[in-house]
Amino acid sequence: MKSIILILILTIALLINIEDLSAQWIQQNSGTTQSLTDVVMIDTTTAIVVGRDGSILRTTDCGSNWIDVAAPLSFIQPWKAVDFCGTLNGVIIGEFGGILITTNGGINWQTRYIPTEQKCLSVLQLSPGYFYVGADSGWVYQTADTGKTWTSEQISTDPIRALFEWRGAYIFTFGLPIFALTPYSLFSSTVFPSSSWAETALPFQIHISQGFDGEFCNGGGAGFIVGFQGDDRAAPIILRNSVSDTTWYDVSPITKEDGIFVGVSAPSANVIYVCGTGGMIYKSADGGDTWTVSATPTTQNLNAIYFYDENHGFAVGDSGVILHTSNGGLTGIDNQENHLPVKFVLKQNYPNPFNQMTTISFSLPVKSFVSLKVFDLAGREVSSLVSEELSAGEYLRQWNAAGFPSGIYFYHLQFGSKAVTKKLVLLK
């Protein structure tokens, strides 16, 4: 009898373990039942989530524990969007024009305000003090001093639902491209130096269609806009614009549920994720050519999705839903070794040239001690970004060159007996 009971216990335990292994996305306890509107990741374990109930949730352990860091603030409003530039500096915007900034990775926040009453919808931070805010009346607000002073321009009569930037290398003399998405068109401009906004109509084939979010691939590559189109039913849509394209093309999944795609995250030129109503998450591993649906443990609407790299990501939505994956949405039963890098690669930093902040990415096929350092033109070491043993995988490291003069620098990656050096250009 005891042996039978033991077998039953072991069987149940095995079934539980198999269920855990097969889970693609893990639902976490956010501590709230209100709608969560946006999420950003600072590294593979640290994330910030904002919500309509005024909560600002922060985790440093992949979401196992969430702390509401909004408690010390003197005012609370429905927070709409969050964006970070590097690991320390971030911005949160609220529907009633409230602005919060952080300089210590989201632990503490300082208050700022848009100069007029506006319902804010989107934010883009380009450097610690330089960011844009989009409002529902088509106004775009810009600050270069962390929100102490502002300039503004009404570029549309429609809501500015998303603000995003080109995330690859760019030619400094032509400026960094930035984009403002409304439900029906995409506005583009440049900064460093600045240019005027230009409008491009979105190529929707059906009259009742809208765009909700957009993003260009991390490190360079295609851009993606998500939304819906339809007359008698809402059909999720994904538009893509590759570097050589002159327009945006529909690359939506052939088989998809009714609903709306409202969020997109493109951690690399190959891997793209989109999320939407009814718990929908789709993934492409070939730059948007084909899409596969991910099984999620919720039917709540997902309002935002963010991936730090190809594997580590969060999705947030209604009723306090937070989903997390550390394997790119793959089932645990899948052989993870098949998805590890097969060779040692050091990629070109982006943006390049850059103004103050740039990102360096590299791939490791096996566990090894890694050294990543930055040198000036005379060969002097000016910064050490990595000096530790790392497991096989994809990595991103940022260099904040705020205290360094303009010029040519070199970054050198040492991996075991292998080494690669590449050039980067700092222009202020």
Q: Is residue 7 part of a domain?
A: no
Classify the phi-psi angles of 417: left when phi > 0, otherwise alpha if psi is within -120 to 50, otherwise beta. Answer: alpha
Q: Are 235 and 91 members of one domain?
A: yes
Rounded CA separation 386/412 (Å): 10
Q: What CATH number should be reported for the domain holding residue 237? A: 2.130.10.10
Q: Are 295 and 374 members of one domain?
A: no
| Average pLDDT of the residues in 100-106 | 96
Q: Are 376 and 227 members of one domain?
A: no
The pairing of beta strand 313-317 with beta strand 79-85: unpaired
How many domains does the chain divide into?
2
Q: Are 307 and 262 members of one domain?
A: yes
Q: Are 351 and 247 members of one domain?
A: no
Q: Are 314 and 354 members of one domain?
A: no
Q: Is residue 372 part of a domain?
A: yes
Q: Is residue 373 part of a domain?
A: yes
Q: What's the pLDDT tens digit per position in 384-397? A: 999 998 888 778 78
Q: Are 369 and 319 members of one domain?
A: no
Domain extent for 413: 340-426
What percentage of the chain exceeds 90 in pLDDT? 64
Q: What's the pLDDT tens digit per position in 300-351? A: 999 999 999 999 999 999 999 999 999 998 754 443 444 456 678 888 887 8
Q: Are 360 and 284 members of one domain?
A: no
Q: Are 211 and 355 members of one domain?
A: no
Q: What CATH number should be reported for the domain holding residue 411? A: 2.60.40.1930
Last residue of a domain, one of 325, 359, 386: 325
Q: Are 69 and 118 members of one domain?
A: yes
Q: Is residue 99 part of a domain?
A: yes
Rounded CA separation 89/106 (Å): 8
Q: Is residue 24 part of a domain?
A: no
The pairing of beta strand 185-191 with beta strand 223-229: unpaired
Contact in structure between 306 and 81 (CB atoms under 8 Å): no
Contact in structure between 182 and 212 (CB atoms under 8 Å): no
| Average pLDDT of the residues in 28-43 | 96
Q: What's the pLDDT tens digit per position in 80-93? A: 999 999 999 999 99
Q: C-alpha 58: how far from its chain's center?
A: 16
* DSSP bridge pairs for 413: 372, 420
Q: Are 373 and 407 members of one domain?
A: yes
**pLDDT of 15 higher than 50:** no
Rounded CA separation 144/150 (Å): 8
Looking at every residue in the chain, the average pLDDT score rounds to: 87
The CA-atom distances, in angstroms, between 17 and each of 25, 250, 257, 336 are 15, 40, 30, 17
Nearest Cα to 162, choosing from 220, 93, 87?
Answer: 93
Q: What's the pLDDT tens digit per position in 236-250? A: 999 999 877 888 989
Last residue of a domain, one of 300, 325, 350: 325
Q: Are 182 and 43 members of one domain?
A: yes
Nearest Cα to 199, choosing from 144, 251, 140?
Answer: 140
The 3 state secondary structure assigned to 300-352 is: CCEEEEEECCCCCEEEEEHHHCEEEECCCCCCCCCCHHHHCCCCCEECCCECC
Cβ within 8 Å of residue 423, ≥6 positions away: 408, 409, 410
Q: Is residue 346 part of a domain?
A: yes
pLDDT at 22: 42
- Give ∠ CA 181-164-261 in degrees, rounded to 5: 60
**pLDDT of 259 higher than 50:** yes
Confidence of residue 255 (pLDDT cuts 50, 70, 90): low
Backbone phi, then psi, for 221, in 5-degree steps?
Answer: 135, -160
Q: Is residue 134 part of a domain?
A: yes
Identify the residue with better confidence: 373 or 389. Answer: 373
Cβ within 8 Å of residue 198, ≥6 positions away: 187, 188, 189
Last residue of a domain, one of 279, 294, 325: 325
Burial class (CB in 10 A: 0-12, 13-18, 19+), 36: buried
Q: Is residue 300 part of a domain?
A: yes
Extract the runs of DSSP E, i.e. beta strands, from 110-169.
110-113, 120-127, 130-135, 139-143, 151-154, 162-165
DSSP of 53-107? TS-EEEESSTTSS-EETTTT-S----EEEEEEETTTEEEEEETTSEEEEESSTTS
